[in-house]
Amino acid sequence: MPRPIAATIHMGALRHNLQRMREAAHGRTLWAVVKANAYGHGLLRAARAFEEADGLALIDLCDAQKVREYGWKKRILLLEGFFDETDIPLLEKFDIETIVHNRHMIELLKTNAPYKSLKVHIKINSGMNRLGFLPKEEEHIRKELCAIDGVEIMGVVTHFANAEPSYDQGKPATVSLQLQRMAQMGDKPSQLCMANSAATLWQKDVQGEAVRAGVALYGASPDANYTSEDLDIQPAMTLSANVLAIQNVPAGEAIGYGSRFVTKRDSRIAVVACGYADGYPRSTPDGTPTYVEGKIAPIAGAISMDMLTIDVTDIPEAQLGSEVELWGAHIPVNEVAKRCGTIGYELMCAIALRVPLVEDEQ
Ligand SMILES: *Cc1c(COP(=O)(O)O)cnc(C)c1O
């Protein structure tokens, strides 16, 4: 029997969330972001669940090819662009759109011209300071790209550093500052695509013709101060594993490596078949909730590579073989993430290869 751990992927939830983001996008083109193996949910599975999206946006050209070969007929966009000259013919062959974010890429496009049709998006750096040209350069870049035989400009993209409503507006790189910078572009560009999930959900001032939704499609709120229910989205991943041992431990005993947790009373400790080698963070502190037999059981003791321990003293129903939800419908992934000092995104995409993804229709 395989080890009793699984990440269950809820197809109904993925479809529901897509519908929800469709509504939030108010008729704009909806790119479903499926980078990082669809935030850990499985690339081709996500492509299937998101068949109503207008396009898929991802990072890796190999993944883009996979999705094409699988039968995805609509648009595909590379969010970081191409990395090498040898990528360029593949973009045309598989009809994959790319962003262009630096001069080097323009030079490569020039050297390899002409094209039948090579679709590019101009990436603007409006304050994130990661990728892209400055707004005032846009006009020039556009002319330069237009002059390359066969290059088709599909639009202009930028990305927000802080589109969550909880972001402190006194700090740098607010949405309004980034919008002001975008307004420095000479002509208002056609086919503007700016919004991620957070901006699509909360930033009514962010306009444009298209949005790129990622995390919300997987049912996690982009802002940890809002729950999935607040946004009417459904968690699409449940990480669960079974109890493989129960220890009755007297008061004053330490549990696991480093003896971080010491029992204050006679305790029942359940050992669960999930560890940091499965993607459950080693940094998880004691007290982080898990869900077993309809009740909350706190993490008790450091997370091991293949196991973790929870306190089930108050949950006599928890027995050998009981299923434990580490995150999912009852334990928001953002809750676990917050306790570990990270975000739900990181936990979802860090699900390890050895954890089987099991598909569920709901
Ligand atoms: C990942 C990513 C997105 C999606 O962001 P979410 O916060 O997951 O909605 C959108 N645009 C770009 C450029 C990205 O890299």
Catalytic, out of 35, 226, 276, 291: 35
Catalytic, out of 167, 257, 291, 345: 257
pLDDT for 187 equals: 79
Note the pTM of the prediction, 2 decimals: 0.97
Q: Does residue 135 sit in helix, strand or coil?
A: helix
Q: Is 42 in the pocket of ligand 1 (CB under 6 A)?
A: no
The residue-averaged pLDDT of 46-62 equals 98
Q: Is 212 in the pocket of ligand 1 (CB under 6 A)?
A: yes
Known catalytic residue: 35?
yes
pLDDT for 1 equals: 85
Q: Which numbered atom of ligand 1 lies nearest the CA of 157?
A: 13
Distance CA(60)–CA(75), nearest Å, equals: 15
Strand partners, 237: 9
Q: Is 222 in the pocket of ligand 1 (CB under 6 A)?
A: yes
Packed helices 138-146 and 103-112: angle between N→C axes, nearest 10 degrees: 10
Distance 133 CA to ligand 1 centre (A): 18
- What residue's CA is closest to ligand 1, atom 6? 214
Q: What is the pLDDT of residues 81-122, one digit of tens each?
A: 999 999 999 999 999 999 999 999 999 999 999 999 999 999
pLDDT for 49 equals: 98
Q: Is 234 in the pocket of ligand 1 (CB under 6 A)?
A: no
- Of the pLDDT bands very low, low, confident and very high (cuts 50, 70, 90), residue 59 is very high
Distance 299 CA to ligand 1 centre (A): 31
Query: Encoding tokens for residue 180?
Result: 């002001």
Distance 83 CA to ligand 1 centre (A): 19
As a whole number, the mean pLDDT across the chain is: 97
Known catalytic residue: 257?
yes
pLDDT for 77 equals: 98
Residue type, 190: S
Query: Encoding tokens for residue 273?
Result: 């078949």
Query: CA 98, 100, 102 angle in degrees (round to 5)?
Result: 150
pLDDT for 311 equals: 98
DSSP at 34: -
Q: Which numbered atom of ligand 1 lies nearest the CA of 79?
A: 13
Helices (H), ranges, 97-196: 103-112, 138-146, 175-182
pLDDT for 327 equals: 98
The answer to whether 235 touches 228, Cβ cutoff 8 Å, is yes
The verdict on whether residue 130 carries a ligand-binding annotation is: yes
Please name the helix (run of DSSP H) or strand (run of DSSP E) that holds residue 340, with its range, or none.
none
Q: What is the pLDDT of residues 230-277, one digit of tens each?
A: 999 999 999 999 999 999 999 999 999 999 999 999 999 999 999 999
Q: Are strands 295-298 and 289-292 parallel, antiparallel or unpaired?
A: antiparallel
Task: Flag whether pLDDT at 69 surpasses 90.
Answer: yes
The answer to whether 271 touches 303, Cβ cutoff 8 Å, is no
Distance 197 CA to ligand 1 centre (A): 7
Distance 240 CA to ligand 1 centre (A): 27
Q: Which numbered atom of ligand 1 lies nearest the CA of 216?
A: 9
pLDDT for 55 equals: 98
Distance CA(44)–CA(127), nearest Å, equals: 33
Task: Flag whether pLDDT at 188 surpasses 90.
Answer: no
Distance CA(216)–CA(227), nearest Å, equals: 11
Q: Are strands 237-249 and 323-327 parallel, antiparallel or unpaired?
A: antiparallel
Instruction: Tell which residue, 352, 334, 99, 124, has the closest CA to residue 216.
Output: 334
Query: Encoding tokens for residue 240?
Result: 């669960």
Give 26's contacts (C-beta < 8 A, 6+ positions apart).
Answer: none
Q: What is the pLDDT of residues 126-165, one digit of tens each?
A: 999 999 999 999 999 999 999 999 999 999 999 999 999 9
Query: Encoding tokens for residue 257?
Result: 């490596």
Give 293's contacts (C-beta < 8 A, 6+ positions apart).
Answer: 315, 317, 318, 322
The verdict on whether residue 212 carries a ligand-binding annotation is: no
Q: Which numbered atom of ligand 1 lies nearest the CA of 35?
A: 1
CB atoms within 10 A of CB 194: 26
Distance 77 CA to ligand 1 centre (A): 12
Q: Is 214 in the pocket of ligand 1 (CB under 6 A)?
A: yes
The answer to whether 307 touches 274, Cβ cutoff 8 Å, is yes
Q: Does residue 302 sit in helix, strand or coil?
A: coil
Q: Which numbered atom of ligand 1 lies nearest the CA of 197?
A: 9
Q: What is the pLDDT of residues 265-323, one digit of tens each?
A: 999 999 999 999 999 999 999 999 999 999 999 999 999 999 999 999 999 999 999 99
Distance, CA of 207 to chain centre: 22
Query: Encoding tokens for residue 97?
Result: 């759109």
CB atoms within 10 A of CB 129: 10
The answer to whether 10 touches 234, Cβ cutoff 8 Å, is yes
Please name the helix (run of DSSP H) or strand (run of DSSP E) that holds residue 56, with its range, or none.
strand 55-58
Query: Encoding tokens for residue 291?
Result: 């869900």
pLDDT for 186 equals: 78
Helices (H), ranges, the chain: 11-25, 35-39, 43-49, 61-70, 88-93, 103-112, 138-146, 175-182, 197-202, 228-231, 333-339, 344-349
